[in-house]
Amino acid sequence: MIGQELSSVDILRMVVMLATLVILFVGVIYVVLGFTLKYHWQKYGLGEDNVRKLKRRYFWVGGSLLLLMLFSYVVILFI
């Protein structure tokens, strides 16, 4: 690469590599923390209704963002 100019293909390849790492990192954090938080809410007695409400919000908002991430990732992959 030294002495050569970066082409748009090279940049896109680097972006794809970075995006793959990001998706793995954020996805794992989201899933693992989701289960950990659920365990905490249930263990320390937040009440069945509260746990259900919190769980629903966490997974709906987080899931939508994760889907958006996956969709844009696929778009980047196929460009």
Partner 1 sequence: MIDLQIGETLLMLQRKHWFAIFLEGMVLLLIALLPLVIIIAVHFLLPLIYQIMGIPATVSIYVFFSSAWMLLMWVVFYVAFTNYYLDVLIITNKRIVDIEQIGLFSRDVASIPPENIQDVKIETTGMLATFMDYGDIHIQTAGSNKELLVRGIAEPSKVKAQILAVHQDAKNKALHHPTQQHPDTPTTTPDATTNQTPPTHVA
Residue 15's φ and ψ, nearest 5 degrees, are: -65, -40
Map the footprint of partner 1 across residues 7-46, applying CB under 8 A: 8, 11-12, 15, 19, 22-23, 26, 29-30, 33-34, 36-37, 40-41, 44-46
Angle (nearest 5°) at CA 11 between 76 and 26: 50
CA distance 6 to 57: 43
Which spans of this chain sit near partner 1 (rule: CB under 8 A)? 8, 11-12, 15, 19, 22-23, 26, 29-30, 33-34, 36-37, 40-41, 44-47, 54, 58, 61-62, 65-66, 68-69, 72-73, 75-76, 79
